Amino acid sequence: MPSPARASYRRMERGGTNERDGYGTDAERVAPNGTGRAAKATLPEFIPPQLATLVRSAPEGDAWLHEIKLDGYRVLARIDRGRVKLLTRSGQDWTAKFPSLAAAAERLRAKSALLDGEVVVLDAHGISHFQSLQEALSPGRTQDLLYFVFDLLDCD
């Protein structure tokens, strides 16, 4: 089990509401359009990420998921009709800082999507280090960047 400082915990509720962003399921986000069928809601511009909380011990029970804390930048990838924006956890557009990641996201087979993840650089042992990420952001060194996606918030 990772140490408490290296893990985050998220309670998963049973039922239709998505606790993570408050938007609910696709079925809950559709509105009648007069044709007897519902129209899908538009892609949100931004959803603030759920952030990890440091705790002394891992919660117990089957209603919890555990994920390893990565040491990097939290990034939301917004794909809208083939155009990609990479947004920080505060909503700043950092697409220009991560051109190779934006190009990779453009190749995904989705008309629209919101991906929540972490941009990192891994060492030879597969461990992320923030200092290595800072160094990789130097001009011409972004080939070592990896984007770990851990939530699909919206998808066509």
**Residues with catalytic roles:** 69
Q: How many other C-beta atoms are found inside a 10 Å radius of the C-beta of residue 109?
A: 6
Which residues does residue 7 pair with via DSSP β-bridges, in sequence order?
68
Strands 38-39 and 31-32: antiparallel
